[in-house]
Amino acid sequence: MIRSIYWYIVFFIGLLRSMPSLIKANSLAKKGLNKEKDEIVNRATKKWAKSLLKAAKVKVNVHGLENLPLDRNVLFIGNHQGNFDIPVYITSLPTLQGFVAKIEVEKIPGIYGWMKHMYCIFMDRSSLRKSSEAIIHGIKILKDGHSLVIFPEGTRSKGNSMGDFKAGSFKLATKSKKPIVPITISGSYKIMEANSKKWLIKPGTVDFYIHPMVETLNLSKEEQDLLPEKIKAIINSKL
């Protein structure tokens, strides 16, 4: 319990300490200096995410860094085991990437400001129209040269078994013509979700697998239809 309390203290203090950097990022964005802004955001969010993993005593083993394309932005598609998936992604991938998140996250003070600058998308799954608008927004972000992360299950699995992959998630890649990099996260649910009290945090080890890139350019209709199961099988191969 002491570790959990300590972690929440680190979470909020880290967020407060990041505010000067957020203010600077806001200023650079207003001036149109997006490259400089992205560098600050990437550095600040990685520092914060690392502090969260360190406070929780979470070790992350990253596999397959050689599979990351150095000259292209991509859509990362992965399974979603728990709340710690986000800091694991932020610390494991060298470049800045946004997330497709639930609309509720937009209401968290401080967090929203950073996520906006990370090119995150907030999706309201209760409305088909709003979900479609979010996908369209995501396609534009990808076309503009920024990478995104989406969890096509739509919610945390809280274990090693995966739920169904929503086909609409893959339109981000097929409509923007950007490649997919499948990601497998294994073990993150044991940090919070597997505990009897869901707010408790326990030390753990997470394996983060970066799979070879899958091209989406010039796919036939049949190939597009088979894409969700193909990517799911790749991700499942490391669970």
pLDDT per residue as tens digits for the range 4-37: 999 999 999 999 999 999 999 999 999 999 999 9
Q: Please classify residue 124 by burial: count the beta carbons closer than 10 Å to its beta carbon, then call 0-12 exposed, 13-18 middle and 19+ buried.
A: middle
Q: CA 143, CA 139: separation in Å to the nearest integer?
A: 6
Question: Is pLDDT of 234 > 80?
Answer: yes
Per the model's pLDDT, the better-predicted residue between 220 and 127 turns out to be 220
pLDDT for 177 equals 96
Report, in angstroms and rounded to the nearest whole number, the Rg of the chain calculated over CA atoms. Answer: 17
- Give 88-127 pLDDT, tens digit per residue: 999 999 999 999 998 888 878 789 999 999 999 998 877 7
| Contacts for 215-222: CB closer than 8 Å, 24+ residues apart | 215/179, 216/173, 216/174, 216/177, 216/178, 216/179, 216/180, 217/177, 217/179, 219/174
Other Cβ atoms closer than 10 A to 33: 14
- Give 169-219 pLDDT, tens digit per residue: 999 999 999 999 999 999 999 999 998 888 899 999 999 999 999 999 989
Residue with tokens 């950073």: 114
pLDDT for 54 equals 97
pLDDT for 106 equals 80
The answer to whether residues 125 and 102 touch, using CB atoms and an 8 Å cutoff, is: yes
DSSP single-letter state for residue 198: T
pLDDT for 15 equals 93
pLDDT for 176 equals 97
First to last CA, the chain: 29
The answer to whether residues 79 and 153 touch, using CB atoms and an 8 Å cutoff, is: yes
Residue with tokens 């968290």: 108
Q: Which whole-number Å values give the CA distances from 32 to 28, 140, 188, in the listed order?
A: 6, 18, 37
- Give 54-96 pLDDT, tens digit per residue: 999 999 999 999 999 988 999 999 999 999 999 999 999 999 9
Question: Is pLDDT of 150 > 80?
Answer: yes
pLDDT for 110 equals 81
Average pLDDT over residues 115-141: 91
pLDDT for 230 equals 97
Q: Which of 140, 183, 175, 191 is nearest to 7 (CA)?
A: 191
Q: Which of 126, 147, 127, 129 is nearest to 138 (CA)?
A: 147
pLDDT for 125 equals 79
Q: Which distant-in-sequence residues (6+ apart) come within 8 Å of 16 by Cβ? A: 110
Question: Is pLDDT of 168 > 80?
Answer: yes
